[in-house]
Amino acid sequence: MKRRDFIGGLAAAAAWPILVRAQQPSKIPFIGFLGQSTPSAEKERAAAFVQRLSELGWVDGHNIKVEYRWGEGRTERFAEIAAEFVRLKVDLIVASGTANVAAAKRATSIIPIVFAVAGNPVANNLVASLARPGGNVTGLSTQATDLAAKRLEVLKDVVPGLNHLAIVGNVANPLAVLEITEVQQVAGTLGLRTTAMEIKSAGDISAAFKPLEGANALYVVADPLVNTNRDLIQNLAMEARLPAIYNAREHVEAGGLISYGPNFADLYRRAADFVDRIVRGAEPGEIPVEEPTKFDLAINIKTAKTLGLTVPEELLARADKVIE
C-alpha cells in the first residue's frame, strides 16, 4: 500500500498542529515506515506514531515525508521492502518486529533504523547493548519472553481446571521459538501439559488446529505472521472452544478472550521521539534502547460468556480495558 492510500485513514486519528516548530532541518527528512503486518492490523499503532510526530512539529507532506510499506507477516516481503527503501534513499527506516528490523539491518549499515517493537534486541544481534546500541540501529525492546509467566498466571485465573495448554507460534521466527520454549518451561512448573502448534506460513494455521485434542486453553505467541492472521486464529480458537491469551489488546478487541503485554500504541509514540532526535542530528548508536513503561491487561467479557467462563471480579478490577 502506498503512503497516500494509508495516510488518509490516519487523518482522523491525528490532529495536525497549526504551527510547526522552528529550526527544522533545511532538507525535508524522508522516512520509510516498514510495517510488519497490514494497515488494518497496525492502524492504531501507526496513528499513534503519526500523532506524536505532529506533536513534535513534523507534518507529513509539509516538513517531513513518510512512505508506508506493509510486510503482511511474510519474511521475504520484509527483505524486499527494506531493499526498496535503500533504493529510494530514505533518511531513516522505522520498523517493528524482530524479523522486520533484522531485514532492514541486513539491507543497510548506514541508514538509521528505529524499531518501535523488537524482542530481546541484544540476543537477536540487532544492537550491541541496550545502553550503547552502536551501529545504525536503536529503538524500543519488548522483552517478550519475560511476560510468559504473567500471561499463564492470568490464564489460570480465568480457566478453572486448566491442565493442558496449546501453544501456537511461528517456528520460522527465532524470537517466537524462544517464547515457545519459555512458555513450555513455565507451564511445566505449573504442572501443565503442553502441545506446540508449529506454523511457518498462513497456510499452516488451519491445519495446526485440526489434530488438537484435550487442550483447554491456548497461548498465542505473537509475531508478524500471527498478527496478520489474528482473525483466522481467533475464529479457529473459538470453533475449538479454546480460551486464548494474546500479547496485545487489539486481539481482544477483535474477539479474543484476554491479552497482557506492553501498550504498543505507547511504544509507537515513543518511536517518534527517536525519529525526532535522529533527524535533528543524534547518532542512533548512541541513543540507548528503551523498554516498555506501560502494560495492558484487556478482557473480553462477551467472549468469556460465549465460552462459559466467569472472569473473577479481582481480575476485572485490575484490567485496563474490559469489553462487554
Could you report the per-residue pLDDT of 287-298, keeping only the tens digit for each?
Answer: 999 999 999 999
Tell me, yes or no, whether 80 and 162 share the same domain: no
| Full domain range(s) for residue 54 | 3-143+263-294
- What's the average model confidence in pLDDT over 306-320? 95
Q: Is the pLDDT of residue 302 over 60?
A: yes
Tell me, yes or no, whether 139 and 200 share the same domain: no
Tell me, yes or no, whether 176 and 310 share the same domain: yes
Tell me, yes or no, whether 199 and 122 share the same domain: no
The dihedral region occupied by 16, where left means phi > 0, alpha psi between -120 and 50, and beta the remainder, is beta
Q: Which residues pair with 140 in a beta bridge?
A: 290
Q: What share of the chain has pLDDT > 90, as a percent?
A: 78
pTM of the model: 0.84
Question: Going by C-beta distance under 8 Å and a sequence separation of 6 or more, which residues neighbour residue 253?
Answer: 298, 300, 323
Q: Is the pLDDT of residue 151 over 70?
A: yes
Give 4's pLDDT tier (boundaries 50, 70, 90).
very low
Averaged pLDDT of the chain: 90
Tell me, yes or no, whether 181 and 304 share the same domain: yes
Tell me, yes or no, whether 205 and 74 share the same domain: no
Q: Which residues of 86-106 are buried (b: 16+ CB within 10 A; e: fewer)?
A: beeebbbbbbbbbbbbbbbbe
pLDDT at 120: 84
Task: Say how many domains are in the chain.
Answer: 2
Cell of 18: 497549526
pLDDT tens profile 64-123:
999 999 999 888 999 999 999 999 999 999 999 888 999 999 999 999 999 999 988 998
Q: Comparing 65-69, 136-140, 141-145, which segment has the lowest mean pLDDT?
A: 141-145
Distances in Å between the Cα of 239 and the Cα atoms of 9, 145, 209, 236, 243 are 32, 28, 10, 5, 10
The C-alpha atoms of residue 227 and residue 271 are separated, in whole angstroms, by 20
Q: Between β-strands 244-246 and 295-300, what pairing exists: parallel, antiparallel or unpaired?
A: unpaired
Contact between 60 and 7 under an 8 Å Cβ cutoff? The reply is yes
Tell me, yes or no, whether 85 and 207 share the same domain: no
Q: Is the pLDDT of residue 231 over 70?
A: yes
**CATH number of the structural domain spanning residue 61:** 3.40.50.2300
